[in-house]
Structure 1
Amino acid sequence: MMKSLRPALTMLVALTIITGLLYPLAMTGLAQAIFPRQANGSLIERNGVVVGSALIGQNFTSPRYFHGRPSATTGPDPADPSKSVPQPYNAANSMGSNLGPTNPALIDRVRTDAAALKAENPNVPVPIDLVTTTASGLDPDISPEAAMFQAPRVAAARGLPAQQVAALVAAHTEGRLFGLIGEPHVNVLALNLALDGTAAN
C-alpha cells in the first residue's frame, strides 16, 4: 500500500509547491517588473495622495463634476447590519442589481433617472449608459456621448466656457484598443481631476 501511496503523496506535495507557491510568485514578480502600475491597482494620485483607481468608479454627485454610470452595489446598513442599503461603487461588494427588464423597480428607477437627465439637457437624447448599471457596479468609464451630454451642466456649475469643457472631454477620450477592441470611453475620475486642475489654473 505504501508503494502506491508514496508517488501520490509526492505528486501532491510537488504540485502544491509548483502551482500554489512557485507559479503565483513568478507571476507576481513578472507583473511587478513589467506592469507595476497595473499590478498595484492602477492607482491615481494627486499631489502625492492616492485619490482612487482607474479601474473602480466613484460616486460623484455634485453638479460641478461629471457623473459615472449608476451603480447597484450595496453594503450593510450601519443602523442594522442584517440589512443591506445602497452603497454606490462599493468595491467590497461588486454586483449588479439582478433586476430583469420587466421589473417595475428597474423601470421606475430608469424612468426617474432619465427624466432628471432630460431636464438637465433637454435638447439631447439621454445616453443609455447614464441610466443603466453594469454587472460589476464599479465601471469607471462612460461613453464620450455621456460625457458630452454632461458638459453643459459642468460648464455652467463651474462658470467655464462650454467649449473648454468639451475640449477637456475630447482630450480624455480613449479610443479602441489597437483600433479594434472595445468602444471609445472616458475615465470619469481622470476627467474630473483634469477639470479641477483646469479650474485651479
Structure 2
Amino acid sequence: MAKKKLIIFPFNGNGLEALDCISFDSYDLVGFVDDNPLKKSEDYEIYTREILHTFKEFYVLAVPGSPTSFRKRKEIISSLGIASSRFITATHPNASIGRNVKIGTNCLIMAGVVLTSNARIGNHVCILPNSVIHHESVVGDYTLIGSNVAVAGGTIIGSNCYIGSGTNIINGISIGDASLIGLGSNILTNVPDDAKMVGNPARNLNAQVNKVVL
C-alpha cells in the first residue's frame, strides 16, 4: 500500500517535534508549509500554501501556536482552506492512550503523554511531552497543552486555551475559553473565559487589571 504524502504547517517547534510522532510506515513527508519566506532549512523543503491547493491529495498536520498567538489558532488553521478529511492526527508511540479515550482530528500527542479512561481530546489540540490528562477530563478544540502538565479527573478545559508547562489543575473544575495559564501555575478554582492565570495558587491578572480600571 502506497504511503500518504504529508505536509506539516508551519515550520516551527511543534512541527519539528511532530516528526517524532508520525508513522513513516504510513506517511511520506513532503516538507513544511510556512508563511514566512525567510525561513530556511538544510534538512527539509519549505513551501508556500500554494502546494496545499496544487496537490489536494496531500495530507496535512497543522500545529501553529504559541503563548502570544494561541487565540488565533482557529483562524490560522481555518485559513488554510482545506477539507477536514485531509487533516491527520499524530500520536507518539510512547504515549499511553487509555480505555475509551477519544481524540479528534489534527491533534498532536507527543512522547510520554498519558490520557486515561474516558478522556476527551477535541480537534486541533497539541499536547506536549509528559503531560497527563486524567479520567473523564475534556480538552476543547484548538487548545495547546505544554509539557509536564497534570490535569486531574473530571476537568473541562475550554477551546483556544494555552496551558503552560508545569501547570497542575485540580479535579472537577472548568477553565474558560481563550484562557492563558502561565508556566508552573496551580489551578484550584474555576477559571473564566479570557483569563490570564499565574502563580500558586493561581490568580487572574486580567481580573486585577479590570479592578484597577473600575
TM-score, normalising length: structure 1: 0.25
Compare relative contact order (CA 8 Å, sep 6+) and give the higher one, 1 or 2: 1
Which is strand-richer, 1 or 2?
Answer: 2
More helix as a share of residues: 1
How does the TM-score come out when normalised to structure 2? 0.24
Larger radius of gyration: 1
